[in-house]
Amino acid sequence: MNFSSDFTMTINGEAASGGASIDVINPATASSFAQCPDASAEDLDRAVQAAKDAFKTWKLVPVEERRAMLIKAGDLIMANADPLASLFTKEQGRPVTLAKQEILGAGYWFHATAALDLPVDITEDTDQRRVEVHHEPLGVVCAIVPWNFPVLLASWKIAPALLAGNTIVVKPSPYTPLCTLKMGELLRTVFPAGVVNIITGGDALGPMMTAHKGFAKISFTGSTATGKRVMEAAARDLKRITLELGGNDAAIVLPDVSAEKVSQSLFDGAFSNSAQICVATKRLYVHNDIYDDVRDRMVQIARRAVVGDGSQQGTQFGPVQNKAQYDRVMNLLESAKAEGLTIHQGATPDLEGYFVPLTIIDNPPEDSRVVVEEAFGPILPMMRFDDIDEVIARANNTDYGLAGAVWSADIERAVQIAGRLETGTVWINENLQSTPLTPLAGHKQSGFGAENGIYGLREFTQPKAIYIPKSSDAVA
């Protein structure tokens, strides 16, 4: 498709420029390269009204037709993966080939979600009556998305919300608005006007949305601190919420694995996307017997890794996505230095952007900031352990509970350990996996509710029980 040269919002099926605009920064150069609209309260009202109007008819569209439109949307996103990927790299920083994987992943998610079903459940079927539970759409959904996976995480909300019969207003992060706006251009050609609205704006827009009375549901992905504000705002009129929040995920590596075989995977599980993944390994616990070997190999990988501008061939790791996050990560690094911790680092390019060296902190104390806080940047604390019960307690000693991993040649034992981790997801001998059929659901302060699969789909619905008598004898 020929994209327009400017960046416009999608409101009621049409391009909308909004009055003001905000700069979009390329994190590899730390300079502005485009502008996106800064939606006003009136723009938001128009988007919500359009979605409300569209809901009246969209909810009645047969599910097979909704499915067909989701598949068409997925096709269009995939067909435009190349232009979207180069734009993605400019706004997000990730190397182009990896950026393309995210765009293709979003298309795939539309397809896979289209195949889900919301059958009527029967909870009683006797001679007297049948009780049916229908899953009705909620109304207009407010979708708020972060900057680390802007396109994929938007698709996790748009596809199930629409399949269930809702309409939606999507807000990407002000740091990564552009690909989502372009996705809006594609979706405008598929869905009836008002079904999908995409608006962008600065820091004021998120709170304006969560306070807006027109929304029936908020689907939010972002930090735990913001998630709590979203929950407070939703409480005012009991909007439904799904919150996918932060994590401080632990990986536990038992002594029966080969350091040579696992080190690269452990490294990737921590540093992919420059460690800006909610479910990345953020605390790595390695058994004493193999600790030195694993550490030395991972330090070598960090030293060899190519960090740079994602638009350049050969770059493996891009910059940290934005200045605020860069400052946070550098502050954490400074505090590790001030604490006198042992630090191993790779190189950074001689560029203006927000580059942080891939950093491994060697066996810091359990209460140091780099262990306790979610870095959400390329600083990995790696700790020794001897006793499995003790390391499980350390892994669980956090308010977060998003994901975790166990690495062992003894799969049965690993499954037992997985059962003791207080997280919504545990991987065994792998990392960072998610599928459109499997719930991503944060335990503790990592979330509320679930995304993906039938679990996520149901969160966009209201169960409605209908008691149906088998005969009308009692009344006529």
Three-state SS at 265: helix
Q: For residue 215, which amino acid is it?
A: F
- One residue of 18, 137, 377, 447 binding ligand NAD per CB under 6 A: 447
Question: Which residue number places its CB atom closest to ligand NAD?
Answer: 206
Q: Which is nearer to ligand NAD, 137 or 377 (CB)?
A: 377
Q: To the nearest whole angstrom, how small is the minimum distance from the Cβ of residue 167 to ligand NAD? A: 19
- Closest to ligand NAD by CB, 244 vs 309, is 244
Q: Are 268 and 431 in contact (CB under 8 A)?
A: yes
Q: Which of 197, 210, 431, 452 binds ligand NAD (CB under 6 A)?
A: 210
d(CA 256, CA 81): 42
Q: CA 181 to CA 189: how far, in whole Å?
A: 13
Q: Which parts of 328-347 interact with ligand NAD (CB under 6 A)?
A: none
For residue 244, indicate whether it is catalytic.
yes
Binding of ligand NAD at residue 246 (CB under 6 A)? Answer: yes
Residue 148 lies near ligand NAD (rule: CB under 6 A): yes
Choose, by CB under 6 A, the member of 89, 166, 226, 425 that binds ligand NAD: 226
Using CA atoms of 425, 429, 434, 438 in order, give the dihedral in degrees to the nearest 10: -50
Q: Measured from the CB atom, is 165 or 449 closer to ligand NAD?
A: 449
CB of residue 56 to ligand NAD, shortest distance in Å:
27
Q: Which of 244, 374, 451, 459 is catalytic?
A: 244
Q: Are 106 and 152 in contact (CB under 8 A)?
A: yes
Given the rule CB under 6 A, which of 27-35, 188-196, 239-247, 381-389 is the region that contacts ligand NAD?
A: 239-247
Q: How far is the CB of 68 from ligand NAD (least distance, A)?
A: 28
3-state SS, residue 474 = coil
Considering only the C-alpha atoms of the chain, give the largest distance between any 2 of them, rounded to a whole number of Å: 85
Binding ligand NAD by CB under 6 A: which of 173, 242, 274, 359?
173
Please give the size of the binding site for ligand NAD, defined by CB under 6 A: 30
Q: Using the rule CB under 6 A, is 278 a contact of ligand NAD? A: yes
Could you say which DSSP state residue 445 is in?
G
Choice among 278, 374, 451, 459 that is catalytic: 278
Q: What is the DSSP string of 405-423?
A: EEE-S-HHHHHHHHHHS-S
Minimum Å gap between C-beta 261 and ligand NAD is 28
Residue 62, CB-side half-sphere exposure with 13 Å CA sphere: 3
Q: How far is the CB of 333 from ligand NAD (least distance, A)?
A: 18
Closer CB to ligand NAD, residue 165 or residue 447?
447
Q: Is 365 in the site for ligand NAD (CB under 6 A)?
A: no
Rule CB under 6 A: say whether 378 interacts with ligand NAD. Answer: no
**Does residue 92 belong to the site contacting ligand NAD (CB under 6 A)?**
no
Q: Taking the C-alpha atoms of 266, 269, 275 and 278 in order, what is their torsion angle to the nearest 10 degrees? A: -140
Residue 397 DSSP one-character state = -
311 in Cβ contact with 28 (< 8 Å): yes
Q: Whole-number minimum distance, CB 126 to ligand NAD, in Å?
A: 42
- Residue from the set 92, 219, 221, 408 that interacts with ligand NAD by CB under 6 A: 221
H helices within 24-95, ranges in order? 41-58, 63-79, 81-92
Taking the C-alpha atoms of residue 83 and residue 86, their distance in angstroms, rounded to an integer, is: 6
- Rounded Cα distance between 46 and 18, Å, is 11
CA distances from 190 to 3, 84, 165, 172, 411 (A): 15, 18, 15, 20, 46
Q: Using CB under 6 A as the criterion, what x/- string covers residues 404-443 for binding ligand NAD? A: ------------------------------------x-x-
* Residues 197, 187 contacting (CB under 8 angstroms): no
Nearer to ligand NAD, 10 or 148 (CB): 148
Q: At 154, list the tokens.
A: 């938007």
Residues 127-146 vs ligand NAD: string with x where CB under 6 A? -----------------xxx
Residues assigned a catalytic role: 244, 278
Binding-site ranges for ligand NAD (CB under 6 A): 144-149, 153, 171, 173-174, 206-207, 210, 221-223, 226, 229-230, 244-247, 278, 374, 376, 402, 440, 442, 447
